[in-house]
């Protein structure tokens, strides 16, 4: 299985899960076996300490490299920075489950910038578990943030989802910051131990060679 990319839209078809990506927004949608949406993720870039929004930053390039879908949004006025999204579907952690790892990076050519990406996760209510692992009320969805990246990530529960803000600190010209997280969906409710094991595996995993 691999990504099917056509212009600014991509799809990954698996069994029983599938993913759709709209790179003009951008947004990511997870679908279950019945092709019903279970999670929607909208990504919005902005400069944390200015009123100038970078909403609508156009897609510069998108391509598939091995198992990764890579989308690049270069810095362009009125934006104060550029960013990149790398998405990879992972081997199933168990039958009828789905996992995807996402790497985000930001870079600026300006002398003073505070780039931030805001992710709105919509599907159902989430609650915080140990080690910055968020799980849905049904215990079928999980968000894992790598321990090395948690200081650059703020998450809060909102109605029917999560608000996730990454980066936001001052950046000097030419600096690149990266972070990664995982999204896991399962067909059945999972105990706390399941999510703890997934977090431990993620914490111990090496950095991908393609980043």
For 199, phi then psi, to 5°, come to -65, -40
Q: Which residues have CB under 8 Å from 145's CB, separation 6+?
A: 132, 133, 153, 155, 179, 181
DSSP output for 39-54: EEEEEEEEETTSS-B-
- CA–CA gap between residue 102 and residue 81 (Å, rounded): 19
Q: Which of 106, 87, 203, 100 is nearest to 148 (CA)?
A: 203
Q: Which residues have CB under 8 Å from 103's CB, separation 6+?
A: 84, 85, 86, 178, 179, 180, 208, 211
Q: pTM of this prediction?
A: 0.89
pLDDT 10s per residue in the chain (211 long)?
A: 689 999 999 999 877 789 999 999 899 999 988 888 999 999 999 887 776 555 667 899 999 998 899 999 998 877 788 999 999 998 766 667 889 999 999 998 887 788 889 999 999 999 987 666 899 999 999 999 999 898 889 999 998 999 999 998 888 888 889 999 999 999 889 998 999 999 999 999 877 655 5
The count of C-alpha atoms lying within 13 angstroms of the C-alpha of 197, restricted to the half-sphere facing its C-beta, is: 7
Helix (H, G, I), strand (E, B) or coil at 200: helix
Q: Which residues have CB under 8 Å from 34's CB, separation 6+?
A: none
Binning the chain into helix, strand and coil, the percentages to the nearest 5 are: 10, 50, 40
Q: Are 81 and 50 in contact (CB under 8 A)?
A: no
């Amino acid at each position: 299985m691999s990504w099917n990319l056509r212009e600014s839209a991509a799809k990954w078809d698996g069994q029983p899960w599938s993913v759709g990506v709209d790179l003009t927004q951008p947004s990511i949608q997870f679908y279950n076996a019945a092709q019903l949406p279970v999670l929607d993720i909208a990504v919005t870039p902005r400069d944390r300490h200015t009123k100038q929004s970078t909403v609508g930053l156009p897609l510069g390039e998108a391509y598939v490299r091995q198992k990764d879908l890579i989308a690049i949004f270069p810095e362009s006025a009125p934006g104060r920075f550029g960013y990149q999204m790398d998405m990879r579907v992972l081997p199933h952690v168990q039958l009828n489950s789905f996992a995807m790892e996402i790497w985000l990076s930001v870079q600026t050519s300006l002398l003073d910038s505070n780039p931030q990406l805001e992710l709105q996760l919509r599907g159902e209510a989430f609650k915080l578990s140990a080690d910055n692992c968020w799980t849905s009320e049904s215990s079928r969805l999980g968000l894992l943030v790598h321990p090395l990246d948690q200081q650059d990530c703020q998450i809060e529960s909102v109605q029917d989802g999560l608000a996730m803000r990454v980066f936001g600190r001052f950046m000097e010209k030419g600096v690149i910051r990266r972070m990664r997280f995982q999204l896991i969906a399962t067909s059945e409710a999972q105990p706390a131990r399941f999510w703890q094991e997934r977090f431990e595996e993620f914490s111990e995993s090496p950095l991908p060679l393609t980043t």
